[in-house]
């Protein structure tokens, strides 16, 4: 991608140089409210108009995207607020939670034993059958 962008940049520079070399005739530019007449080569006038068009297009794109920028800014603020709330709730949950070193509650321990008793025979038969039986 880097090579392609450099080749295109060199191509545009070459075209700009060719336009500048072949259009050196002077032209007069008179802007109505101003009393001055500006004399410049045609290629400068063309480059100035192209730059003016690029700036106008960029400014119109910036103006059109203002709603999206505002919504993104609001969504970022909401995400930061929710992150703070999650951190606060996790901290409150850790404080309210009994220590995990004591093991699961007796009711949970019985449920785990029942599940392991149901699953263990099934695991043993699969292991003896083989992977594709």
47 and 10 together in one domain: yes
pLDDT of 23 reads 86
Does 114 map to a domain?
A: no
28 and 81 together in one domain: no
Dihedrals phi, psi of 27, to nearest 5 degrees: -130, 155
56 and 38 together in one domain: yes
Does 19 map to a domain?
A: yes
> What's the rounded Cα separation, in Å, for the pair 26 and 44?
10
13 and 48 together in one domain: yes
Q: Which residue segment(s) compose the domain that 79 sits in?
A: 66-97
Q: CA distances (Å), 31 to each of 36, 45, 51, 56, 78, in order?
A: 8, 13, 18, 19, 51
51 and 72 together in one domain: no
- pTM of the model as a whole: 0.52
30 and 72 together in one domain: no
Lowest mean pLDDT among 66-70, 74-78, 100-104, 118-122: 100-104
Q: Is 50 helix (H, G, I), strand (E, B) or coil?
A: helix
Number of domains the chain contains: 2
CB-based contacts of 43, cutoff 8 Å, min separation 6: 19, 20, 23, 24
- The percent of residues above 90 in pLDDT, for the chain, comes to 44
Confidence of residue 87 (pLDDT cuts 50, 70, 90): very high
72 and 53 together in one domain: no
Q: CA distances (Å), 25 to each of 20, 28, 39, in order?
A: 10, 10, 10
93 and 78 together in one domain: yes
Does 109 map to a domain?
A: no
10 and 54 together in one domain: yes
> What's the rounded Cα separation, in Å, for the pair 22 and 63?
37
Does 42 map to a domain?
A: yes
Q: How many CB atoms within 10 Å of residue 122? A: 9
pLDDT of 73 reads 95
34 and 58 together in one domain: yes
Dihedrals phi, psi of 105, to nearest 5 degrees: -65, 155
Please say whether the beta carbons of 24 and 35 come within 8 A: no
Token couple for 96: 């309210």
């Amino acid at each position: 991608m880097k090579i392609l962008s450099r080749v295109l940049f060199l191509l545009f520079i070459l075209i700009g140089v060719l336009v500048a070399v072949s259009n050196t005739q002077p032209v007069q530019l008179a802007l109505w409210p101003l009393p001055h007449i500006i004399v410049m080569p045609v290629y400068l006038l063309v480059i100035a108009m192209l730059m003016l068009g690029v700036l106008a297009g960029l400014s119109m794109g910036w103006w059109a995207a203002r709603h999206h920028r505002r919504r993104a800014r609001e969504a970022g603020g909401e995400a930061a607020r929710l992150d703070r709330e999650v951190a606060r709730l996790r901290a409150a949950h850790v404080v309210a939670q009994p220590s995990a070193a004591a093991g699961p509650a007796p009711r949970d321990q019985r449920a785990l034993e029942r599940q392991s008793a149901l699953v263990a025979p099934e695991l043993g038969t699969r292991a003896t059958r083989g992977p594709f039986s």
